[in-house]
Structure 1
Amino acid sequence: MKYLLFLFVFFCSIAVRAQDFGFGEISGDDLDLKKVKTDSNANAVVLKEFGTASVRLDESYGNLYIDFEYHVRIKILNKNGFGSANVVIPQRIYGDKEDMVQNLKAVTINYIDGQFTQTPLDKKKVFTEKKNKYVVLTKFTMPNLVEGSIIEYSYRLYSHGLFNFRSWEFQSDIPKLYSEYIAIIPALYTYNVSLRGAQKLSSQNAELYKECLRISGRPYDCSKMTYIMKDIPALVEEDYMTAPSNFRSAINFELSEYYLLSGGKKSVTKEWKDVDFELINDKSFGSQMKRKDLFKELLPEILKNKTAPLDKAKEIYDYIKRNIKRNGFIGIQSENTIKKALETHSGNTADINLALVAALSAANLDAEAVILSTRSNGTVNNLYPVITDFNYVIAKVNIEGKSYLLDATEPLMPFGLLPLHCINGQGRVINLKKPSYWYDLKASQKETLRYSLIAELGKDGKIRGNLTIHAIGYAAYNKRKKILAASSVDEYVEKLDESMPQIRILKHAIHNLDSLENLLTENYEVEMSAFSNLNSDPLFFNPFFIDRISKNPFNLNERTYPVDLGAEKEIRINMTIKLPDNYNLADKPKELNMVLADAGGRFICTTAVEDNILLFNQLMQLNKPIYSSAEYLSLKEFYSRIIQLQKTDIILKKSK
């Protein structure tokens, strides 16, 4: 969670060097961590980490840039910690410019037979990789690793991105004993500075430097801000979390305003009315929303004589999904115009969804664009507009008092259901004629699975019958995705059969695979080898063989970030198994009716035998898309009790 820490009305760059620690100067404390309280589960630990960032002047070109220096020392505690020796340094690309890594030093230090040995990194083993058109990666692996190695590296990064001053992550996937960051910012710049995450600063300090930066002979004062955090626990990533960057303790800087060298001041932090104007007049955004003319001649063919507004919207949605395929890039701006996307049948996510907005508008439907940040991208700043927070755009259509959120980039997504990666807080609705506004991004359906087994236990010890699976909402989407990822339905069923060793699928039929708005139904004729024969008495049978929870997804003693499912969840299992004559229920799993606080969820399990019919019913409901960190332990216990219950058997005993 992000909150405003303070505003600086001065800021950035100085030649004064901060107090870094000596490279390769290892002490006895670095070798022996007995005096230090560390996480017993840690595989590696940061002993010291230091960074400094400042704005400097490139004398050759007359440009200002951010000079960032980084230095870290890490102790590898065991072989599982070797991953910390794989180093990746991201570098941004700004048009024809990109960040530059210089002065890279790296060494592995081992203590062998009472002596230190140092193995420097071979510079020939440093590689660069272009991740995409916006990011280049510098990568290397530290040499000569053994358990107990200390690795140390430092580098300097020259960055052209002044809008977001260099952020600093105090927290990572391994614990840190000490982390210090110094930001040196001249009075030319004003940044909004925010502290994110659950951990608190150990100390912070502000100093003023007079005449620290000189441009064209004119001196400027600077502010030097020092941030220190000690004994920082690792941020352990678990299931059902959004971007880890949302929760890591970090300092972030966003440029608010700056002074022009010619005089005057320019604001970077705009109001939404300013952003609205820019987006609506942007050739790659608003101009694409206005291209209704591209669809006028296509509409009769698309609509197929449909007159009801909702029917028209569905036909247009399907048309865009079929005719423009995603090229792998995402963004809020059209890459090549929606006209070209229609002609080539390919485009980025903005090409597709802005085309959808334009087509819906051409049919006289009330359509708007919604810009958002995906779950992996992080949360957006609600205090003031930061357009770089947003990385995705979808469509919103309003019909007869109801709004539908649409993403036509996902071919298997039914009308009105957003992909889970879009369910992330709020989006900003951009309307060509009205002011923009915030809109909650919520799942319109649950993730629902319903299993029904009607079977009979034969004298040969095998259970034979019919298993029917109904999938709705996100469960149906996930299943359709798996089925269509296989080369055929038969291959999908074969893999499903292999994944359930106790059950053999004899026949299958899948319905509504292409009817995305209907529930997906799978019918299987199955055979299960429950017992080698029926001569044993009693018979032990575990009924939890369908959608069994094999592992608790929640294992932390404390979780400082919420559990974000994205959507509510429901799983129902109903079994009706006819038993041979003269069998009674001797014992069964405990009858359980467990509820979470505030109607957050429930689990029900019942078992009975009536007229020689075994009836087993199970229901699990998670009624919230998001659970707070305060609810975490209850959710963890909820799953633990279910897993414990699923270890118990039904015991059938023959009557005498």
Structure 2
Amino acid sequence: MKKVTLLLALAIIVCTPFTSFAQNFPDFGIISAEEKNITNCSFDNDATAVILLDEAVSEHDEEYHLINHHHVRIKILKEKGFDEANISLRYYRKDDFEFIDMLEAVVINTDASGAVSTEKLSKKSFFKKDINERIGAITFAFPNVKVGSIIEYKYRSFMKHYGGLDDWYFQKELPVIKSKYTLTILPNREFSYVINKKPTIPIIVDVQSGSGKVYFEMNNIPALTDEPYMDAREDYLQKVTFQLSGYNTGFGKTNYMTSWDEVIKELTITKEFGGQLEKNIPGTGAFIDATKLLPTEEDKMKMVYNYVRSNMTWNDLYSKYAGSGVKDAWEKKTGNSGEINLILVNLLKDAGLEVYPVLVSERFHGKVNAATPFIDQFNAVFACVIIKERKYYLDATDGYTPAHVIPNDILNTTALIVNRKKGGLVNITNDSLQYSDYISCQMELDGNGTLSGDAFIESRGYSRIKRVSEFKTSGQDKYVNKHYQKNGITVKEFAFLNQENDSLAAEQKFKFNTNLTSSGGYLYLPLDFFSGFTNNPFIADNRFSNVNFGYKRTISTYTSINLPKEYAMDALPKPIKMTTPDNDIVFSRSVTYDKATHSLVCMLLFDFKKSLYTADEYGVLKEVYKKMFDFLKEPVVLKKK
């Protein structure tokens, strides 16, 4: 399915004050006959539940607090939709920036006679909890939910200022029949907004310049579900995004971040960003003096990078800013991604390197639209070091990616180098480094159908980073069970070598055994061991999003098997070489049988020369994967003598 994005940039300015008033949502708890009779979603037949209405109004009081009133109505269509009755309303609790109140919730049921009953949740049904130091949540569960139930809730969110203004998402994980949003702009302020939508889904936009309001409505929006190797969901959701773009001081209009140069300028004078640069990081003088003595700039970069990684602990919070300040974070030895990487920028500069902070949008966060200078398109800040015209991108929250490797999460993305003279947008690419695995298995098959052998796996590039990270994070048992000890295979004497030396390939060695499938005097011997191609991810008929593997991949396997004298060769899979029309995917298989030694050798090659496929190319990709997995299922057939 082709994904087309329509981008509109509009702005309105209001110079008259607006008086806030409570949004009562007068139809709360009152359902229509049409809603009562809905049994399935007409534009999404597989839906287990449907959002009948998702509406919100954002306005302000006389002190310009941001006040959001939200109202949601959902109908349960199938038993699998019962989980939708468990609600979690998150809010930004740090420094008491936001709180939620005026919460009401009801469940509406219809009996066999058509009589409607409404049950209101009591205040005791609402529970407050802290998710982390920044985020809190109010949770509740609707009682007496069954197929046909309508669950409904409304609440108010009160924020200190308009800095908490969120994007409005028309599209959800459930289909939405009606989504509508009204925003009231602050007096003497101008907001730009960008609409991201498919051209096949109409939108209503009503700009009311006199009152400072803008109204958005979209109807019959299908659910957006996750797809294998999907780009960021953000890239495909139907939504509207807002950003302050100007203000009126009484002496004329002043633009605010309406170009990338203005974005850079604003960041350099922001206390939590530019104000954290050129800081003296306490207690690092001796380290910097020692680092300056190293022979090359690459050595200095690696030394500082590893120093920050070993001395700081990431609190799992992404940020572009150092909210607590770099000195405070350094003293506590913990911080968000912005604090840690701005510390890194400071120390790299102290070591005499050319370095700049760079805003990035990691792959899960979504693509950057270069035509729209919206700062919220980026979710984090990294360090960009320039040595002999080569750019290195460093993230000190990443404990596994070496300094010379571009972090996978920003590969093939757009970033913003923040510097008044040398700053600007850059495209981050790397065609030289890829994901590379070599897998060797030396095996022996006995007359009872027991296959045993030794495996050796050598991983380079992004494969090394991924495997070492997963092994250290999950531990040996979980790692081995996930990748090797499955489908009847038992693994022994597992060893993972070269974990700490990132200049060497990662190596895994282990012994394994399994029992083959037999039937009527025949043994069926598979030829694909440990390549990772276990299940075909591309079986859906249609595709909504692009397929993004992240990097190019090459996996090659070498398998040798000594066969038992009790069995004779009956059928041997044929040699295969398969390519796509553009030659960007190559799959090959060679199988040779040596009658004199009664042994066979199989070599497989999986070569993916392209990392990104559009939704339009999905048909070709699906067909290639189907054929490839069909070939991988073909066994060697042995017949008992």
**Amino acid in structure 2 at the alignment position of 1:146:** K
Q: CA offsets, 1:80-116, max 9 Å, x none?
A: 1112222233334584442443253433323344321
For 2:318 and 2:23, how far apart are their aligned partners in 1? 40
After the TM superposition, which of the residue ranges 329-338 and 564-573 deviates more from structure 2? 329-338
SS in 2 for 1:258: strand
SS in 1 for 2:591: strand
Question: How far has the Cα of 1:437 moved from its partner?
Answer: 1.5
Q: CA offsets, 1:340-382, max 9 Å, x none?
A: 5555543332333233333333333322221212333334453
After the TM superposition, which of the residue ranges 69-78 and 546-555 deviates more from structure 2? 546-555
The answer on whether the counterparts of 1:3 and 1:194 sit within 8 Å (CA) in structure 2 is no
The answer on whether the counterparts of 1:415 and 1:517 sit within 8 Å (CA) in structure 2 is no
Out of 496, 510, 513, the residue aligned to residue 524 of structure 1 is 510
Unaligned runs of 5+ in 1: 210-220
The answer on whether the counterparts of 2:281 and 2:327 sit within 8 Å (CA) in structure 1 is no
Q: CA offsets, 1:203-245, max 9 Å, x none?
A: 5253647xxxxxxxxxxx2155443322221111123234423
For 1:270 and 1:92, how far apart are their aligned partners in 2? 27
1:7 paired with 2:16, answer no
Give 1:366's aligned residue. 354
Q: 1:324 to 1:20 in 2, by over 3 A?
A: closer
Question: How far has the Cα of 1:573 moved from its partner?
Answer: 1.9
Q: 1:17 to 1:208 in 2, by over 3 A?
A: farther
Question: How far has the Cα of 1:140 moved from its partner?
Answer: 1.8
For 1:93 and 1:360, how far apart are their aligned partners in 2? 34
Match runs of 1:305-344 below 5 Å: 306-344=294-332
The answer on whether the counterparts of 1:497 and 1:503 sit within 8 Å (CA) in structure 2 is no
Q: 1:183 to 1:559 in 2, by over 3 A?
A: farther
For 1:5 and 1:525, how far apart are their aligned partners in 2? 59
Question: How far has the Cα of 1:42 moved from its partner?
Answer: 0.9
**Amino acid in structure 2 at the alignment position of 1:323:** N
The answer on whether the counterparts of 2:76 and 2:148 sit within 8 Å (CA) in structure 1 is yes
Q: CA offsets, 1:597-626, max 9 Å, x none?
A: 534323223333234331222222333332
1:571 paired with 2:555, answer yes
Out of 629, 635, 641, the residue aligned to residue 649 of structure 1 is 635
The answer on whether the counterparts of 2:104 and 2:121 sit within 8 Å (CA) in structure 1 is no
Q: 1:175 to 1:379 in 2, by over 3 A?
A: same
Out of 561, 568, 574, the residue aligned to residue 545 of structure 2 is 561
Give 1:125's aligned residue. 125
Give 2:104's aligned residue. 104
**Normalising by structure 2, what TM-score?**
0.87
**Amino acid in structure 2 at the alignment position of 1:308:** T
Q: 1:605 to 1:407 in 2, by over 3 A?
A: same
For 2:572 and 2:148, how far apart are their aligned partners in 1? 51
Question: How far has the Cα of 1:145 moved from its partner?
Answer: 0.4
**Amino acid in structure 2 at the alignment position of 1:357:** V
Q: 1:544 to 1:169 in 2, by over 3 A?
A: same
Question: How far has the Cα of 1:631 moved from its partner?
Answer: 1.7
Q: 1:631 to 1:292 in 2, by over 3 A?
A: farther
For 1:125 and 1:406, how far apart are their aligned partners in 2? 46
Question: How far has the Cα of 1:585 moved from its partner?
Answer: 4.2
Question: How far has the Cα of 1:536 moved from its partner?
Answer: 6.5
Percent sequence identity over matched residues?
Answer: 26
Out of 409, 423, 427, the residue aligned to residue 436 of structure 1 is 423
1:254 paired with 2:243, answer yes
SS in 2 for 1:598: coil
The answer on whether the counterparts of 2:484 and 2:491 sit within 8 Å (CA) in structure 1 is no
**Amino acid in structure 2 at the alignment position of 1:349:** S
Q: 1:459 to 1:471 in 2, by over 3 A?
A: same
Question: How far has the Cα of 1:574 moved from its partner?
Answer: 1.7
| RMSD, aligned α-carbons | 3.5
Give 2:335's aligned residue. 347
1:83 paired with 2:83, answer yes
Out of 238, 243, 268, the residue aligned to residue 227 of structure 2 is 238
SS in 2 for 1:475: helix
Q: 1:164 to 1:257 in 2, by over 3 A?
A: farther
SS in 1 for 2:286: coil
Q: 1:135 to 1:246 in 2, by over 3 A?
A: farther
Question: How far has the Cα of 1:654 moved from its partner?
Answer: 6.0
Out of 9, 34, 43, the residue aligned to residue 29 of structure 1 is 34
Q: 1:267 to 1:207 in 2, by over 3 A?
A: closer
SS in 1 for 2:131: strand
Q: CA offsets, 1:167-191, max 9 Å, x none?
A: 3222111112233334454774432
Give 1:212's aligned residue. none
1:638 paired with 2:641, answer no
Q: 1:551 to 1:35 in 2, by over 3 A?
A: closer
Q: 1:270 to 1:177 in 2, by over 3 A?
A: closer
Question: How far has the Cα of 1:628 moved from its partner?
Answer: 1.4
SS in 1 for 2:338: helix
After the TM superposition, which of the residue ranges 591-600 and 409-418 deviates more from structure 2? 591-600
Out of 41, 44, 48, the residue aligned to residue 43 of structure 1 is 48
The answer on whether the counterparts of 2:356 and 2:385 sit within 8 Å (CA) in structure 1 is yes
Match runs of 1:342-421 below 5 Å: 342-421=330-409
**Amino acid in structure 1 at the alignment position of 2:402:** P
The answer on whether the counterparts of 1:603 and 1:618 sit within 8 Å (CA) in structure 2 is yes
For 1:179 and 1:349, how far apart are their aligned partners in 2? 34
After the TM superposition, which of the residue ranges 458-467 and 141-150 deviates more from structure 2? 458-467
Question: How far has the Cα of 1:592 moved from its partner?
Answer: 3.9
Match runs of 1:83-232 below 5 Å: 83-93=83-93, 95-102=95-102, 104-163=104-163, 165=165, 167-185=167-185, 188-198=188-198, 200-206=200-206, 208=208, 221-232=210-221
**Normalising by structure 1, what TM-score?**
0.85
The answer on whether the counterparts of 2:98 and 2:157 sit within 8 Å (CA) in structure 1 is no
Out of 595, 601, 604, the residue aligned to residue 618 of structure 1 is 604
SS in 1 for 2:363: coil
The answer on whether the counterparts of 2:41 and 2:47 sit within 8 Å (CA) in structure 1 is no
Q: CA offsets, 1:45-71, max 9 Å, x none?
A: 123333333x34x3xxx3124443333
SS in 2 for 1:376: helix
For 2:487 and 2:205, how far apart are their aligned partners in 1? 62
Question: How far has the Cα of 1:273 moved from its partner?
Answer: 3.6
**Amino acid in structure 2 at the alignment position of 1:4:** L
SS in 2 for 1:414: coil
SS in 2 for 1:571: strand
After the TM superposition, which of the residue ranges 358-367 and 379-388 deviates more from structure 2? 379-388
Question: How far has the Cα of 1:194 moved from its partner?
Answer: 1.5
Q: 1:459 to 1:94 in 2, by over 3 A?
A: closer
The answer on whether the counterparts of 1:373 and 1:424 sit within 8 Å (CA) in structure 2 is no
Q: CA offsets, 1:126-156, max 9 Å, x none?
A: 1223334443323222221012212222333
Q: 1:630 to 1:161 in 2, by over 3 A?
A: farther
**Amino acid in structure 1 at the alignment position of 2:417:** V
SS in 2 for 1:310: helix
The answer on whether the counterparts of 1:164 and 1:253 sit within 8 Å (CA) in structure 2 is no
Q: 1:416 to 1:504 in 2, by over 3 A?
A: same
**Amino acid in structure 2 at the alignment position of 1:507:** E
The answer on whether the counterparts of 2:257 and 2:266 sit within 8 Å (CA) in structure 1 is no
